[in-house]
Amino acid sequence: MPLAVGRFVPDGPAIAPAEIIAGAYANTFVPQPYAVITPLRDRDIWYRLNLAEDWNDDRPALLSIADPQGLEVTVYAPPGYAAVTYGIYDTQANNGFTRHALAFVLSRKLKSNTPIYLHVGPERAIPRRVELNHITEARIVDLAHGRLDVLFPAIQLATLLVMLCFFLVMRERMYGYFVGHVLFLVLYELYAFGIGYELPLFDLLAPLQARPAWLAASLAAILLFLFSSVFLDLAQFAPRLNRFLGALCWPLGALAICAAIPKFSPGWWVEDALALILLVAAPLLAVAGVLAWQHGSRRGGFYLCAWIPGLTFVIVRVLQLLLHWPLPVWLEFGLPAAFTFASIVLSFGLADHTLAMRHERDFAHRLAERDALTGALNRRAILARLRATFLHARDSDEPLSLLFLDLDHFKCVNDSHGHRAGDQCLRAVIAPIASELRQGDALGRYGGEEFLVVLPGAAAANAEVVAERIRQRLQEMRMQVSDTHIALTASIGVAALDARMQTPEDLIECADAALYRAKSGGRNLVSTHPGITGALIPEH
């Protein structure tokens, strides 16, 4: 319902409420163009509200005053004009409504010619909306606000728990900074929404009034700066900006201490100082994301996508506080919504960082176990693979075979054509050998021109077939180096696991003995260890 609002600022000593109610100062109330109340920083102020028409409804009326942070309002309403005082820091106040507004339930018999009086104590001079609605309609709106109060912190806590698990597993400080930032951001939202003054344990800070929100905001900003420095690698991309953001952490830490000690923070100067720091830092954080993104950092892209909405809302909120603008509903809920969006996107960014670390680890592991020249497994890796396969085959009573391959007359290739040509030959033989292997088989360079092939699940006869196919492929391959054709052949020794072999070295020794027989038999042959079949497969 429309309200006519008048304002009276006493100049002298405090005036007794009974005089105001009796109409002694009726002619001193100055009409206001809007239904708002604007406190004064240094003195009390009175407001008179008149309905545009009589209240004709069986449901009670509800008087609500928006943006109640810091407000303490006493309402004198007909018919009895009993004083009712509420503030959001009172743990028992507000008639079961959320603390997005001070809520006063009024009589069902309000008359347009019977005013309602409000006494407002000293506070920040920010206009606050005043509305009079049916209590049912007000509860519907308040219920929607309450759902949003829970929704945004709940989503942020979910991302916090996921990142906390990452931090506990990986022990990387970047995840710790993010977890701490989101935690204090949630605490800020709880106290900014007023929920913190109702929850057990959290309500112990109610005597500090608005200071818990300032404390949480200061610590959240510090951890955001530290997280941004590491996440964006600002020490590399923007060292001067990184040092400046690091320097801002000190005044923010001092503000956090002042916020926690009321003696150090009378009035609202801590919030004003915090707002000024954030007004400077918010654009710089956006610049930091741009610099990282321009240097090819994927994390810079995630950071910009996450924080551009949030930093925009922060700037608008800071300007609203410093310039004493009214707090619109879209800003009141848009700020936590932007923070929630940022938490989700940055969680994806951290997950992407974890995936990149995994790829780097896998790549490093691959480099560590691969032969630099041929790309096959190196000696340490092929022996480790053989050892694991040997133990599994022996324990499960499954077949296992090993091929020991040596390129014939390879020293002549190096002597006649040079070591560069020899290296090209070593690289060239990998593809034809690998083409004859199954998934799960392993090929590794044992040393020089010698290679091992591990064939899990292959009996001796199967291994002989594989070895013969490899020999034929190498024989048919032609290498051309500097207009010169080089013919390559290989001798291959085959050994299969049997009960007499106790170690992988026994299997290698048997395959090596079979290779020696192939060499002695004229080379370009496949020879199987005599303990198995005694076969010697000649060239066809």
Distance in angstroms (rounded) separating the CA atoms of residues 377 and 370 = 4
Token duo for residue 535: 């076969």
Predicted confidence at residue 532, as pLDDT, reads: 46
Please compute the mean of the pLDDT values over residues 462-487 and round it to a whole number: 85
Q: Is 153 helix (H, G, I), strand (E, B) or coil?
A: helix
Predicted confidence at residue 31, as pLDDT, reads: 92
Please compute the mean of the pLDDT values over residues 259-275 and round it to a whole number: 86
Please compute the mean of the pLDDT values over residues 190-197 and round it to a whole number: 85
Would the pLDDT of 356 be above 80?
no
- Tell me which DSSP letter residue 15 carries: P
Q: Mean of the per-residue pLDDT values for the chain?
A: 87
Cα separations (Å) of 155 from 77, 220, 339? 41, 17, 10
Q: How many CA atoms lie within 13 A of 378 on its CB side?
A: 10
Distance in angstroms (rounded) separating the CA atoms of residues 510 and 493 = 8
All domains of the chain in start order, with CATH:
3-139 (2.60.40.2380), 172-358 (no CATH), 379-537 (3.30.70.270)
Predicted confidence at residue 48, as pLDDT, reads: 93
The DSSP bridge pattern shows strands 45-51 and 116-120 to be antiparallel
Q: How many CA atoms lie within 13 A of 83 on its CB side?
A: 11
pLDDT in tens, 146-167: 898 889 999 999 999 988 888 8
Token duo for residue 341: 């969006």
pLDDT in tens, 294-319: 888 888 888 899 889 989 999 999 99
Would the pLDDT of 359 be above 80?
no
Token duo for residue 393: 């085959």
Would the pLDDT of 360 be above 70?
no
Please name the residues in contact with 512: beta carbons below 8 A apart, sequence gap of 6 or more. 404, 493
Alpha carbon distance, N-terminus to C-terminus of the chain: 104
Q: Is 37 helix (H, G, I), strand (E, B) or coil?
A: strand
Q: Measuring CA to CA, which residue among 508, 515, 486 is closest to residue 405?
A: 515
Please compute the mean of the pLDDT values over residues 425-440 and round it to a whole number: 89
pLDDT in tens, 95-141: 778 888 888 988 888 888 899 999 998 888 889 999 998 888 888 98
Predicted confidence at residue 500, as pLDDT, reads: 84
pLDDT in tens, 62-95: 999 998 888 889 999 988 899 988 888 876 666 7
pLDDT in tens, 1-29: 788 999 999 887 888 999 999 888 888 99
Q: Is the peptide bond between 79 and the residue preceding it cis, with omega within 30 degrees of 0? A: yes
pLDDT in tens, 34-71: 899 999 888 899 999 999 888 888 888 899 999 888 88
* φ, ψ of residue 138 in degrees (nearest 5): -65, -40
Please compute the mean of the pLDDT values over residues 275-292 and round it to a whole number: 92
Global pTM reads 0.71
Please name the residues in contact with 535: beta carbons below 8 A apart, sequence gap of 6 or more. 464, 527, 528
How many contiguous H segments (helices) and E segments (strands) does the chain have? 15, 18
On whether the CB atoms of residues 228 and 288 are closer than 8 A, the answer is yes
**Beta strands in 361-497, from DSSP E residues, in sequence order:** 400-407, 442-447, 450-456, 478-481, 484-487, 490-496
